[in-house]
Amino acid sequence: MRVLMVYPKYPDTFWSFKYALRFVGKRAAYPPLGLLTVAAMLPAAWDKRLIDLNVARLTDADLRWADYVFLSAMEIQRGSVKEVLARCRSLGVKTVAGGPLFTAEPETFAEVDYLVLNEAEATLPAFLADLEKGCARHIYATGARPDLSLTPVPAWELIDFRDYASMSIQFSRGCPYDCEFCNVTSLFGRKPRLKQKEQLLRELDALYHYGWRGSVFIVDDNFIGNKARMKGEILPALIGWMESRRHPFTFITETSINLADDEELLDLMRKAGFVHVFVGIETPSEESLKECKKFHNLHRDLLAAVRKIQNHGLQVSAGFIVGFDSDTPSIFERQINFIQKSGIVTAMVGLLNAPRGTRLFERLKQEKRLLQNFSGNNTDYSLNFIPKMNPQVLLDGYRRIVTTIYAPEPYYQRIWEFFREFRPARRAGIRHLRLCYLTALFKAMFYLGVLDKGRKHYWQLLIKTLFRRPRFLPEAITFAIYGFHFRRVYSGRG
């Protein structure tokens, strides 16, 4: 059997880092972890190839080679999915599809030959067995939450590591919280399911074996969903693994803000090599936090929590949302002020949207406020529901937030605010200096220091960092490049 794994293309988004990646000569931020994991579940005798449309072209010859094309995608990739499916159909190539997009609305993808939905560990074996017997059904779905001990090491041999800025692995699925706007719990449940520490270390061994050195994104929706196991078992094992190999990786992950409540956990994460966490802050408005059921963010000093995490050597990036029913026009200035004071350099501010599978979607459906234009991208000035606030006031206020916080002067000021609070660990491991970093330095000096309209603020930051925080000079250049990307993304919208 010849199987072609195809990962659809992302549009230009906040998280694509398209314009930043050009500075380091990379084509995509992360590899398609889901498809690589599914590939490892397929029979070893099958001939497998992978084409990530974010790094390579898909030719008709590629499609004609395949007996089956496997696709996985999220909502934001819908346009690319439709193009791939149309090409497969025109060439008579059978398709197999799964992942969040297809699981959320299988009824809209009648052109897919086989829909293998939910979690592959639970549905793929039955499909493969029926396929071998010649009686495969159109849809395979289940409500089961499979044990992650069934998950194999991803088929890393299918990618070219040079295409990507970071690698990614998964340690757990599920989140103990149930925010109204989030579909994680409908997809993966509220009880976090964790891999065994031996599995985690095997996956790290695989990346190490293939020669990867650098950033690894642990893609869990909430890495600290089970704090007891994390502190008692996982992080100590990770610390030992990293020390024995002289710290070949740095780790990025997603956590909830209550990470700030646990000094022991913060210290262990820093020792294990974590340098960056994404946190869902959403809003400084207590009324809006109550509305969206984000209770673990309530009754706390969010600014102090962010600073505490930064004080422990972890950079905080965060998600923010405007458009809650409880929001008033004052929310726009409140969001700007909070973000500037927090020193959160990468602040993803989006408009509230209601994905399928969320309690928000069901509530708005009952209230007859849903619209049909959900893009999967909450930074593109689109809404898929009728807000309580005047829509034009909401859109204008949102535009004011993103154009303000990513304008050169406030953006570079925020970087410095972060440097004031950041206390990274001094690492004894190997520093991985690569040619692409030197290339990025010279490109940044030219594009940001000469051509960019914010060049004055760029040089002010670099000179100030060089004299007062010289250790942070690499971060200063990296953040300046990120800012270039964010300004390009937002300048082309609205």
User: Please, are residues 60 and 51 in contact by the beta-carbon 8 Å criterion?
Assistant: no
Please, which pLDDT band fits residue 429 given cuts at 50, 70 and 90? very low
Of 17, 24, 162, 22, whose CA–CA distance to 439 is shortest? 24
Backbone angles phi, psi at 42, to 5 degrees: -80, 160
- Tally of CB atoms within 10 A around 252: 22
Of 451, 484, 491, 439, whose CA–CA distance to 26 is shortest? 439
How high is the pLDDT of residue 431? 53
Res 428 pLDDT > 60: no
How high is the pLDDT of residue 436? 74
User: What would the mean pLDDT of 414-431 be, rounded to a whole number?
Assistant: 82
Res 72 pLDDT > 80: yes
- 286-345 per-position pLDDT tens digit: 999 999 999 999 999 999 999 999 999 999 999 999 999 999 999 999 999 999 999 999
| Helix, strand, or coil (residue 425) | coil
Q: What one-character-per-residue DSSP string does 341-390 give?
A: HHT-SSEEEEE----TTSHHHHHHHHTT-B-S---S-TTSS--SB--SS-
Quote the percentage of the chain above a pLDDT of 70: 98
How high is the pLDDT of residue 494? 45
Distance CA 421, CA 217 (A): 23
How high is the pLDDT of residue 282? 98
Name the least confident of 54-63, 77-86, 240-249, 366-375: 366-375
Of 349, 341, 344, whose CA–CA distance to 395 is shortest? 349
Quote the percentage of the chain above a pLDDT of 90: 94
Res 446 pLDDT > 70: yes
How high is the pLDDT of residue 425? 82
How high is the pLDDT of residue 373? 79
What token pair was written down for 160? Answer: 């070219």
- 353-399 per-position pLDDT tens digit: 999 999 999 999 999 999 987 898 988 999 999 999 999 999 999 99
How high is the pLDDT of residue 361? 96
Of 21, 485, 347, 19, whose CA–CA distance to 215 is shortest? 21
Q: How far is CA 190 from CA 75, 177, 358, in A?
A: 22, 7, 13
DSSP classification of residue 180: T
In single-letter form, the type of residue at position 359 comes to R
How high is the pLDDT of residue 430? 45
Please, which pLDDT band fits residue 82 given cuts at 50, 70 and 90? very high
Q: How far is CA 130 from CA 96, 136, 137, 145, 168, in A?
A: 13, 5, 8, 21, 31
pTM: 0.95
Q: Which residue has the higher pLDDT, 428 or 75?
A: 75
Distance CA 288, CA 354 (A): 15
Distance CA 243, CA 204 (A): 13
Distance CA 469, CA 416 (A): 10
Average pLDDT, the chain: 96
- 471-487 per-position pLDDT tens digit: 999 999 999 999 999 99
What token pair was written down for 214? Answer: 């650098």
Distance CA 483, CA 19 (A): 10
Edge-first strand order for the sheet with 114-116 is 47-52, 2-7, 68-72, 94-98, 114-116, 139-140
What token pair was written down for 93? Answer: 């190539």
DSSP classification of residue 10: P
User: What would the mean pLDDT of 111-134 be, rounded to a whole number?
Assistant: 98
| Helix, strand, or coil (residue 33) | helix
